[in-house]
Every structure is written in C-alpha cells, then in structure tokens.
Amino acid sequence: MRKLAFISALMLAVCLSAQELNCTVTINSDQIEGSNKQVYETLKKAIEEYMSQNRWTNMTYAEKEKIECSMLIVVKEAADNMYKCEMTLQSRRPVFGTTYTTPLLNFKDNNFNFTYQEFDRIEYQQNTFTTNLTAMLAYYCYLIIGHDQDSFQRMGGTPFFQQCEEIVNACQSASMENAEQKGWLAFDSNRNRYALINNLLDEAFKKYRNYYYEYHRLGLDEMSGNVTNGRARIAEGLPVLKEVYRARPATYVINTFLDAKADELADLFCKGTDKEKKAVYDLLMDIDPTRQNTYGRINQ
C-alpha cells in the first residue's frame, strides 16, 4: 500500500502547486572576453523562471514532487545578440524507499544557438513559434517530463514527446538564422533534437521504452525491498538495448540512455553475481565500447 501511495503521489501529484519542474541554470561565459557579463545573469534568471514557473501539463505537483533538473550552458561565441552555445541537460527522479535519485537524462546539445537581447521576454505560446530560444527550452521541458512519466508508467511520456514533435515541426518551417536551424533538421545530424524525438515516437523503439519503465519501476523501485530481484530484473531486460542497437546502429536514443545510466549500471552490477557481471559487461562493451573505463568497474 505504501508503494501504491508513493506512485500515486508522483503520478497524479494532487497537491499544492501547478508547475512541474525545479530547474537550476548555470551559464558559463568564460570563453567570451570583454562582453557585458550582466546579460548572462539576466538570461540565467529568465530561463529558470521560464522553465520552473510555467505550467507544462494539466497535472499539479506539490513542491517536493517537482522534477529536479539542471541546465549548464557554455557560451562559445557571442556577437550581435547571437549566442552559440553548448548545453548539457540533466534530470533525475527519486527511487522508492531510498534517498537515492536516479538520473533520467544527461543530454548534451552542441548547437544550442539563439538570438537574445538583454531583458527580452522569454514567453512560450503553444502552437506558435516565437523565438528559437523559447522553442528549445519548451522542447526540453517536455522532454524532461516525458522521461519522468515513462519511468513511472508504460509509455506514459508519449503525450509530452508528441509536444516535442510539434515543436520540431514548427521549427523546421520557421524563419530563423542558419545557426539556429541546427538541431531541428532531419538530415542535419543523426544526433540532434529531431533524431531523438523521432526515435522516441517510433514504433520500432517501443520495446526500449517499455524497458525504460521496467528498469525504473520493476528494477530500481523494487531494490529497497529486495536488491537481488531488482538488479536481476534490470539485467534481464538489458538485451533490449542490444536488439535495438543491432537493428539500427545509428540510433540516438540508446546513446542518450547510456549517457545517463552508464555510471549507475557500473555501480549496480559491480555487486552482482559473477554471471550477471559477465553478461552485463559483455553486452555494454558490445554496444558502447568507448566507456570501457566505466564498465570495467563491474569486474573489479
């Protein structure tokens, strides 16, 4: 009953506040010399307010139930109100019966480019393109909420991923600077905002999204009661990642999953059985060999 109450509270969040996100923004402008640094403080505050004070769904959340997330924006170039940046987005959610929070997203956008003049209003209007900055931020708000919902309910994030898709479609046809178009275009890259949401809504990746739910609800959330069973459930489903990867080696969604979960998987399975360690290590090294140092911890 306690577990049911926990899930009901997090899924329905019938409580005190409307907003869904608690977002912390950091802007690093160290690479930009001789510019007005105050503009970055103004921008930081504006983005935090936009993400944390807007209502993105028809659900209501208590303050303690808001989704914790953070955004690190590194400014690479700034000229004539055009900012070319890299952005890293992270989000997390609590694991039942513990003080541990599990990462849901650890996503890097290398083309977080936008025009902005200090004190410009950052205001999202649904179904209407205003600026690239507002569109990107709205996309990431829905992406965060979608992943959170997918971790609590099978395919629960679909309505929010569909909102992301609508934003992508609007941006593909919007008039904007060339630098701002990067990330939205279908053939620009297989690792961009378009590619990620295309993967998440593709029927071919339904097994992956079901596993994403099982990983969190039937794996991590069960570990407070039985660590062995929870870890075994996670190991049992991992071959889905290999299946999806083999079918489409260029798929982006598996990369984003491992960007978020690589360290967690290493920490989980370094305490597993010898059979689990070998199977998990071999599978992860097969689909993600660049993280050998991380996965090597499983066998230590």
Structure tokens at 209: 């999204």
Collapsed DSSP state (helix, strand, coil) of residue 2: helix
Collapsed DSSP state (helix, strand, coil) of residue 259: helix
pLDDT of 4 above 70 = no
Cα end-to-end distance, the chain, whole Å:
38
User: pLDDT category, 5, cuts 50, 70, 90?
Assistant: very low
pLDDT of 35 above 80 = no
Alpha helices per DSSP H over the chain: 2-12, 38-53, 132-150, 158-172, 178-181, 193-200, 206-213, 227-237, 239-247, 252-269, 274-287, 292-295
pLDDT of 228 above 50 = yes
pLDDT of 34 above 80 = no
More confident residue, 71 or 58: 71
Collapsed DSSP state (helix, strand, coil) of residue 80: coil
- pLDDT of 64 reads 84
pLDDT of 11 above 70 = no
pLDDT of 298 above 90 = yes
Q: Taking a C-beta distance cutoff of 8 angstroms, is the pair 87, 43 a contact?
A: no
Strand 82-94 relative to strand 67-79, pairing: antiparallel
Q: Taking a C-beta distance cutoff of 8 angstroms, is the pair 252, 190 a contact?
A: yes
For residues 130-139, give the mean pLDDT. 96
Residues with Cβ < 8 Å from 107, sequence gap 6 or more?
88, 89, 90, 143, 196, 256, 259, 260
- pLDDT of 33 reads 86
User: pLDDT category, 94, cuts 50, 70, 90?
Assistant: very high
User: pLDDT category, 61, cuts 50, 70, 90?
Assistant: confident
Strand 21-28 relative to strand 101-115, pairing: unpaired
User: What is the helix (H) or strand (E) element at residue 87, kind and residue range?
Assistant: strand 82-94
All structural domains of the chain with their residue ranges: 2-162, 206-299
- pLDDT of 18 reads 60
Of 64, 66, 112, the closest CA to residue 88 belongs to 112
Tens digits of residue pLDDT in 257-282: 999 999 999 999 999 999 999 999 99
